Structure 1
Amino acid sequence: MPAFTPDSPTAQAWGAPPSARYERLAAPFRPLFARIGAGAVEREVSRRLPATELGWLKDSGFTALRVPVEFGGAGASLAELFALLTELGQADSNLVQALRSHFGFAESILNSRDVQRRERWLERLGRGETVGPANSETGDAKREAFSTRLLADGANWRLEGSKFYTTGALFADWIDVGATTPDGARVTATVRRDAPGVEVVDDWNGFGQTLTASGTAHFREVAVKADEVIDKDQRFAYSPAFYQLFHLANLAGIGRAMSDEVARAVAARTRTFSIGNADRVAQDPQILAVVGQVRSAAYCAGAIATQNALALERAFEARHSPEQEQAVAIAELEVCQSLNVVSDLIIDAAGRLFDALGASATLRPQALDRFWRNARTLASHNPRVYKARIVGDFAVNGTAPPEQWKIGTV
C-alpha cells in the first residue's frame, strides 16, 4: 500500500493533494474535522448553531490559513485553502458557508495596496479574529446604491441601516458593511460585532444551510473609524470567482459526506427485498452501482474544484501586474464552466442516494435530506442560470466575463 495516512483524501481515492506539504498542513485539522463531523446530524436535527465549533476552528488557526507566517498564519496557497475547505465541508457544510466572507475579507487584505491597512488587519487575522458580511439588502434596494447610509461624524463616520444574508456575522468578531455615503459613493465600513448599536438576529429561515446565521443585522448610529472605510471597488479583482469557488468546494465536501454516509448505511443494512439481487444489500450489484454513482459525482466535483483553485492561484500571483486582467478573466471563465456541472452532479447525487436505501432513510433523525437541501441552497447563490451564457459568449464571440456585478432594482 502507498505510504499515505489512513484518513488522507489521497488514500481514500479523492485525488492527489494540491501541494507537497499539504498532508503536513492538513494533519492538525483532521481530528478537529472528525470532531465537528461527529456532531453534524445532532446540530442539524436540533438546529443548534455551531458557535462552539467555529470557536474551535479559530483556536486551531484554521481561520488564519491564508495569513502569512510572519503575522501568525499558515501562509496557505489558494489551492491548499480550498482543499481544506472541502475537507471541512465534508464534516459540516454550514461551517464553510459561515466562513466564506471571512476568507474573502482576508483575501482582500492580502491584495490591498494600503500597507498600513494590510499590516493592521493581518495582525488581527493572525490572532484569530474573524470578519462576517453585511452587504445584501432585501426589497427595493437599488443595484447602484445601498440604503444603508454612512454619515459624517466629525473626522469619522456613523452607520445607519439594516442588512440580510449576513452569513456568519453572528459568529464573527467584526462585520464588513456595505453602505452609501452622502455623495453617493459605495463603500464598506468594518465595525466590531459587539459595538454599541450593532444587532445581529438569527432569523434565517431558508430550507438549507440552516445553521449559518444568514439572517438580519441592524446598525443604529454605529460609530465607524475613518481608517475602517474603503471604496467598495477596492475589492480584489478575482473576488467573483473566489466567492463562487467557495460554493463549489463546499459542494464537493457535501458530496464526500453523503458518499461516506450512504456507503456506511448500505454496509450495515440487514433488511433486503425479495426482488433484490442478493441476501445482503451490501452484495447487491444494483445498489452498489448507486453508491458508486454518488461517490463518482463527489470525486468529479472535487477534481473540478481543484482545477478552479489553481486558476485562482494564478490570478493571485499576477496581482498588481500587467498579466492580472487576463489571469482574472481566465479564472472567472474556469469557475463559470464548472458551476452548472458541479451543481448538477451533487444535487442529482443527493437525491439518488435514497435509491440505495429503504424508506427508513427518510426518517428525520438521520437527516439525510440535509445534503439535497444544502446543495440546492448553495447552487441558488450567484445565479448559475447565467453562467452557461457567459461561457458560450466567450466561446463564440471571445467576450470576457463580466467584472464585479450587483443585485437590486434599477
Structure 2
Amino acid sequence: MAETGDQAARTTARVIADDNEALDAARELAVRLAEGAAQRDRERRLPREEIEWYSQSGLWGITVPKAYGGAGVSFVTLTEVFKLISAADSSLGQLPQNHFGLVDVIALTGTEEQKRFFFGEVLAGKRFGNGFSEKGTKHVLDLKTRVLRDGDDYVVNGTKFYSTGALFAHYVPVLGLDADGRGWLAWIPQGTPGLAITDDWSGFGQRTTASGTITLDNVRVSASHVFPAHRVSDLPTLNGPVSQILQAAIDAGIARAAVDDTLTFVRERARPWVDSGVERASEDPLTLREIGHLHIQLHAAEALLERAARLFDAIAAQDAISEDDVARASVAVGEAKVLTTEAALLAGEKLFELSGTQSTLAAHNLDRHWRNARTHTLHDPVRWKYHLVGNYYLNGKKPARHAWN
C-alpha cells in the first residue's frame, strides 16, 4: 500500500517537551478517541483519521531521548499514557505498542547516523508498524523470514501475521534471520516494491488494529535501514520487559474502561434484584460487594504496574544494566501482567452480571471490553507468568531474554 497524500503531507507533528505535557496531551486525546470507539468496533471501521490525531499529538515521539530532541519520558509516564488511551479505545491503545519497542531498538542498536535519522522521523510524526510474528511455525521464535545481505543492501523474503499497525505505518520494520540464524530488523518504507499488507484480521477483539498479513517478495532495503535485532537479547537490555509493560498497560486500560462502564450502567439502567429489598441497583448489597472487589483487583493491578515502571526507571538511570537487573524487571512486569490480565477479564465478565440482561443488547456494544481483553491477553499466556515468577523466587532462575518476558 503506497503512502496516501494525507500521510505524506502530514509529517510535522507536535514535539512534546516533558512528562507533564505528555500526560496532558494523552488526557486530552483520550476524550476525543473515546467518542465513537464503540461504533468503530461495531462496524470494524479502521481508525485512519484517529491514528493521525494520535501521532500528530506528539505522543508517538515521547520516548525519543532528550539528546535527540525528544522528551525521554519516564516509564511511569509512558505506562500511564498507554492506560489512558487504551481505556478510551483499546485498539488505538495497542497500535503504537510495537512502535515504542522499536524506538528502543534504535536507541540500543543503531549507529549515530541511524539514530539521528530515525529519531527525527519519529519526532516528525512518522509511525512504525511491525512485521514480527508468523503463523504455522513451531513457536513465536521459529522464524522463516530471511533478511540477507546482498551487496550494499539487504533482501527480505517471508510472510508475517499479527502485524499490528503495519497498515497505518510509514515504515514497516520486519524481523528475519540471516544465514547464521541471527535476528535482524529491516525498516521498510511503506510502498516499497515487493511489500504487500493485507487487511485480513478477523479476530473477535481488537477489531480495528488491522493485525493481518504482510508478504515480502524480494524486498530490497538499504543497509542504513537495517538493525542488528539480536543484540537486544544477546546483551542485557530492558527491551523485552519494555514490550511487556506496554502490553500490561493496555490491559489495565481495558479493565478501567470496563469498570467505568459497569458503574454507569448500574447507576443509570440496571434494576435491583427482586429479593434485595432495595429501590436501586446501586444499593444492592451483593452488587456493592462485587463493585468493591472489582476496584480492589483493578487498583492492585495498577499498583503493580506502577511498581514495575518505577523499577524500570531506576534501572534505566544506571550507568550499565546487568543480567540481574533485566531479571528483576522481567519478574516485576510479569507480576503486574498477571493482575492486569485477570482484572481486564474479570471486569469484562462482571459488567454483564452486575448490569443485567439489558447490558447484552447490541446497541450498547459492551461486550467489546471482554472481547478486547480476551484477544489482547492471548499475546503471551499468564500461566507462564506464574511459572516465571515462581521459578525466580524459589530457584533463582532468571527469565529467558526475549519480547515475551
TM over 0.5: same fold?
Answer: yes
Residues in 2 aligned to 1:399 and 1:271: alpha-carbon distance in whole angstroms: 51
- Shift, 1:406, TM fit: 8.3
Cα shift at 1:216:
0.4
What is the TM-score normalised by the length of structure 1?
A: 0.87
Asked if 1:109 is matched to 2:101, the reply is no
Letter of the aligned partner of 2:391 in structure 1? D
Q: 1:403 deviation in Å?
A: 1.7
CA deviation map 1:167-213 (0-9, x unaligned): 11111110111122345433111101222221111111222212111
Find out whether 1:372 has 2:370 as its counterpart: yes
1:117-149 Cα shifts (integer Å, max 9, x gaps): 222211111111111110111113677663222
**What secondary structure, in the 3-state scheme, does the structure 2 residue paired with 1:75 have?**
coil
- Mapped to 1, the partners of 2:248 and 2:189 lie a distance apart of 30
Q: Which whole-Å CA distance do the structure 2 matches of 1:270 and 1:135 have between them?
A: 44
Partner SS, residue 130 of structure 2: strand
1:92 paired with 2:84, answer: no
Task: Answer yes or no: is the 8 Å Cα contact 1:145–1:184 preserved in 2.
Answer: no
Distance 2:400 2:175 in 1: 21
1:39-188 pair list within 5 angstroms: 39-69=36-66, 71-112=68-109, 114-140=111-137, 146-188=143-185
Amino acid at match of 1:335: V
Report what 2:201 is aligned to. Answer: 204
Segments of structure 2 that go 5 or more residues without pairing to the other structure are 1-17
Equivalent in the alignment of 1:346: 344
Inter-partner Cα distance in structure 2 for 1:305 and 1:294: 17
Q: In percent, how many aligned pairs have the same letter?
A: 31
Instruction: Supply the AA of the counterpart residue of 2:351.
Output: L
Conservation of the 8 A alpha-carbon contact between 2:352 and 2:359: yes
Looking at structure 2, the residues matched to 75 and 393 of structure 1 have their Cα atoms a distance apart, in angstroms, of 34
Return the alpha-carbon distance in structure 2 between the equivalents of residues 42 and 406 of structure 1: 32
Instruction: Give the deviation of 1:38 after TM superposition.
Output: 1.4
Deviation of 1:151 after TM superposition, in Å, equals: 4.0
Runs of 4+ in 1 over 6 A off after TM superposition: none
What is the match of residue 225 of structure 2? 228
Q: Give the distance between the partners of 2:143 and 2:347, measured in 1 at CA.
A: 39
Q: Partner amino acid for 1:286?
A: L
Which residue does 1:250 correspond to in 2? 250
| CA RMSD of superposed structures (Å) | 2.3
1:345: how far off?
A: 2.5
User: Under a length normalisation based on structure 2, what TM-score does the superposition of the two structures give?
Assistant: 0.88
Give the CA deviation at 1:44: 0.9
* Aligned counterparts of 1:396 and 1:105: Cα–Cα separation in 2: 33
Contact 2:175 2:185 in 1 (8 A): yes
Q: Any unmatched runs of 5+ in structure 1?
A: 1-20
Alpha carbons of 1:228 and 1:92: their partners in 2 closer, same or farther (altered >3 Å)? same
Match of 1:361 among 320, 342, 359: 359
2:310 paired residue number: 310
1:276 to partner: Cα distance: 3.0
State the distance in 1 between where 2:216 and 2:247 align.
28
